Structures are given as C-alpha cells and as structure tokens.
Amino acid sequence: MQIGDLIRRAGRQFGAAPALVDGERVVTFAEFDDLTDRLGHALLSRGLAAGDRVAVLMPNGIDGVVVYYALAKSGLVRVPLNARETAHELAFKIEDSQARGLVVAGEAPAPVEITIAAEELPGLIEGAPAGPCDVRRDPDEPLRLAYTGGTTGRPKAVVLTTRSELAEVNNFLVDLVPNLRPDSVMLHAAPITHGSGAFFLPHLVKGAANVIVSKFSPGAFLEAAQKHRATTTFMVPTMIGMLLEDLATAQADLALERLCYGGAPIATTVLQRGIDVLGPVFTQLYGQAEAPLAITCLQPWEHTPERLTSAGKPYTFVEVDIRDAEGNSLGVDGVGEVLTRGPHTMERYWRRPEATAETKQADGWVHTGDIGRWDAEGYLHLLDRRHDVIISGGFNVYPREVEDALLAHPAVVEAAVVGLPDEKWGERVTAAVVVRAAADPDEIRAFCADRLAGFKRPKAVEIWPDLPTSPVGKSLRREVRDRMLTTARSLSERAINSED
C-alpha cells in the first residue's frame, strides 16, 4: 500500500465532507485527492523524478498539506523545513539533503535546481491534468527526511519510509486516537512540520476533518476549537500553559476528547491544573524523530497523581527495552538507556552510515539516547537525555550548536550550554561563558540573533571565571547545570529567609 492509496480511498468514501479547513477555506476529501493528484503531475512535469528530494518551507495552512501529499503521490521525498530557523540553518538542510526542488513561501534560503514559489501553486494545479498521480515505490524507499541532531549538534536527517509512515498511522489508530469517527475533528494549532502533522493521516483515513490554525494563540485556538467542535489536538507544554492562563479568565465550551501532548518536559503542576480545568482528556506521547511519536504513551485514565511524571507504557505494536552499558535488559528500577523497535522506526540516517551503525542495531533496535527506568507496574520513567539535548517549547536544541555560535563572539573563549527547568518552556537555554575581555551578557545574547533561531538562543548568559572540564579538557555540562541549579536554590532560600 502507498500513501496515495489512503488518500484516494478517503476521497471515494467521504467525498463531499470537509477534509481540511483553514479559516473560511474548506477542501473536501474528493477535492484534496484531486488537488494532490494535479500538483503531483505538475511537479513531475517540472523535471523532478521519483526519489528526488524536495524541501518544503511553508506556513501552517492547507497549501502546505497539499504539497506534502502531492510529493508522496509523485514518489518525491519530502524534506520539511522549519520557518523559525535561520537562513544559514535552512541552507544547510537543503544542501545536505541534496534537494533538487524547493517549494517556498517567501525568499529561498538557498539556490536549488527547481524552485517553486507558493504563489505559483494555484496556477500549477489548475494547469495540470486530472486523474491519479500514482508513482509507486518500494515501501522501504525514503518517503521523507526528518532532520534532528546528534551528540555533536550537527543536524542529521532521519530516513522514514512508506512502511514506517503506515506503521505510525497504525500506532495512532490503535493507541493514541483509537475512537476516531467521521464527526471527529483534529485541530492543528502546533506546526504541521512537527508533531501535529502526524495526526493528519489518521484523521483523514477515518473521515475526520483537519482544522488548521495558521499561528497559535490561546484566543485563536479557543475560537477554532469551539466553532468546529474540535475533539483532538496536539500541543507542546508551553502551549498548554498559555492556554490555561487564558482559560483562567475566559469561558469556553469545548468538546475535546483528547489533548495529546509531548515534545518537552511538562511541570506536574501545569498538568494537574490542566486536568482540573479540562478534565480527563490529556494523553502524553513519547517518541523522537527516529521513532516518530510512538515509543510510549500515557492514556487519559492513567493520569493519576502518582503517574504524572511517567511517560506511560509502550504502544501495542512497539517494543521498548531498558539496557545497561553492556546491553543487558534491566528489570524494575534498573536505570539504563531506552531502546525501541518497531516497523515505524527509522530506516537509517541520510548519508551518515557511521551514525546509523551507532544508533540502529542489526536486529532493528534503536538507541534513543534517553535514560529511563521501569516501575513495578510497567510504566516508563525518563530520567535524563544521554546526549544533553535541550527541549524548549517543543523544539530540540543541541548545546554544541549554541556553543559554536557563542564562541564566534570575539570575547568568548569557552562556552557550555545547558537546559534549566522552566514552567513555560519546559527547559530554558542557559549558557556559561568564559571571556577574554570585559563583555556584556546581553550583548553576547544579541550576538546570537543572526546565527540561531529564536528558540535556540540563550535565555540567559552567565560569565564564569572558568568551566568545569574532564581530564581531556571537555566541558562537563552536567556540572555546569548542577552549579546553576544550586545557585538558583540558594538565591530562592535567601529570598524566603529575608521575607521571614
């Protein structure tokens, strides 16, 4: 089976029902099937061929979704780009993926052989022939490349195939959103380039509508959720906190059955407040680019006070193991690395054979780089991330990348970047630097603006006389983080004592 088969079947079964809604624009299931066919033909007519990579830089909206699935029908490999990244970051991904094509709203961040501006899409679609665009490829060939980062901070592209995409849809339908029906409504308030986009196909195949909010705000979310009677949505913890602040003063009549969340640590106080306000609708999902959104999940009825710090239990068709450094499986309360296996996991890293060998074993087990333990009831508890990845506002931030930007400043000679707990963002990017001359921390932060996307820039920069290092001179981020947390606790205690 191909992705296009699912779209064609939905077009036949649910024809005139709304498949996509964005403001006043509505696209039916039959129209979506036709639009993706026509655009698929148009893309191939521009000289692209099956297997070519096509980067997509589009805002949240119907056109971006049409592009994504036109690529699937025409055998082209999707490379989704994040509009919040800088031109330098985007250019790297375009070049690294060897993209022949680029569909872009706005200025192209890098030259490619075939560039299609977003405003050209209506004309391309109108001028293309009708009828199925059905380029069939082996299910184990690349369908899309999902960029992530590694221990060095250098982005890597995870190769995901048609087989893994179909398995991901199956995981969602069995465990994450098991009660979908034609009157269900998915509200996409988070970027479709990230977690929210994974909910599109499961809803499409069940005849449910996908409603898109172009840019998240609590007000826009509540308006759309009430107007369309949204039953499902996906949020990162930062969005949940903002929504709850708005709901503290606003009246809302919501039909939510599942509010799925993930992508960052969440404060238990925020989660409990959400349950108190919205009821038992929260569903936590734990996954990563190498195992898309499906390692474990915590169901609504499992959100009891003693389990709010858990990541839940494995999906029905996903294997999860915790192993020590020698590869031995660990039992209850044994602390080790989380590994996972299933047909939805990565095929490989694009053009990174050594990294692939380090991450994916010959028998299919994928190293997540996360440290965790099982409790006596079979729930997974995540304790740390082996590779020091910071998750801020639902986005991965790789310390080395931020450190490189800081070290480009003429006054900075050493830098260590860590994530500190933050109720709004999950974690806030914080830096300790050693400088060679007098320097202003705010000026150093501002220096990063042209080099890093907003979510990657340090929220605070501290100037230290030196950094803790290992015997071989490598910065010890864990010690930096511990010192910062100790200082923060000390200051908090002093404030409390002074009030007394």
Same domain, yes or no: 398 and 368: no
Does residue 382 form part of some domain? no
The residue range of the domain holding 406 is 390-499
Same domain, yes or no: 106 and 243: yes
Beta bridge partners of 413: none
Domain count, the chain: 2
Same domain, yes or no: 73 and 122: yes
Residue segments in the chain with a per-residue pLDDT below the cut of 50: 150-152, 471-472, 496-497, 500
Same domain, yes or no: 357 and 444: no
Same domain, yes or no: 78 and 174: yes
Same domain, yes or no: 240 and 164: yes
Query: Which residue, of 347, 374, 401, is where some domain finishes?
Result: 374
Same domain, yes or no: 460 and 358: no
- What's the pLDDT at 424? 86
- Token pair of 282 as six digits: 């929260």
Is the CA virtual torsion 487, 489, 494, 495 positive or negative?
Answer: positive
pLDDT digits (tens, 9 = 90+) for 285-329: 999 999 999 999 999 999 999 999 899 999 999 999 999 989 999
Same domain, yes or no: 137 and 18: yes
Does residue 228 form part of some domain? yes
Does residue 69 form part of some domain? yes
Does residue 321 form part of some domain? yes
The answer for 393, left when phi > 0, alpha when psi is -120 to 50, beta otherwise, is: left
Query: CA-CA distance, 311 to 309, in Å (whole number)?
Result: 7
- What's the pLDDT at 494? 52
Instruction: Find the CATH number of the domain harbouring 224.
Output: 3.40.50.12780
- What's the pLDDT at 491? 63
Same domain, yes or no: 305 and 269: yes
Does residue 483 form part of some domain? yes
Instruction: Tell me if 341 sits within 8 A of 314, measured CB to CB.
Output: no
Query: Which residue, of 309, 342, 374, is where some domain finishes?
Result: 374
pLDDT digits (tens, 9 = 90+) for 250-283: 889 999 999 999 877 777 888 999 999 999 999 9
Instruction: Give the strands of the sheet with 380-385, arranged side by side.
Output: 319-323, 336-341, 366-374, 380-385
Does residue 352 form part of some domain? yes
Q: Please name the residue that has the structure tokens 């919040």.
A: 84
Same domain, yes or no: 355 and 415: no
pTM, two decimal places: 0.83
Instruction: Tell me if 141 sits within 8 A of 163, measured CB to CB.
Output: no
Does residue 443 form part of some domain? yes
- What's the pLDDT at 451? 87
Instruction: Find the CATH number of the domain harbouring 453.
Output: 3.30.300.30
Q: Which own/partner pairs from 188-191 qualify as long-range (CB within 8 Å, at least 24 positions apart)?
A: 188/60, 188/212, 188/213, 188/233, 188/234, 189/213, 189/216, 189/220, 189/221, 189/224, 189/233, 189/234, 189/235, 189/239, 190/216, 190/234, 190/235, 190/236, 190/239, 190/394, 191/60, 191/82
Same domain, yes or no: 368 and 475: no
Is the CA virtual torsion 490, 493, 499, 500 positive or negative?
Answer: negative
Does residue 439 form part of some domain? yes
Query: Which residue, of 340, 374, 408, is where some domain finishes?
Result: 374
Same domain, yes or no: 305 and 436: no
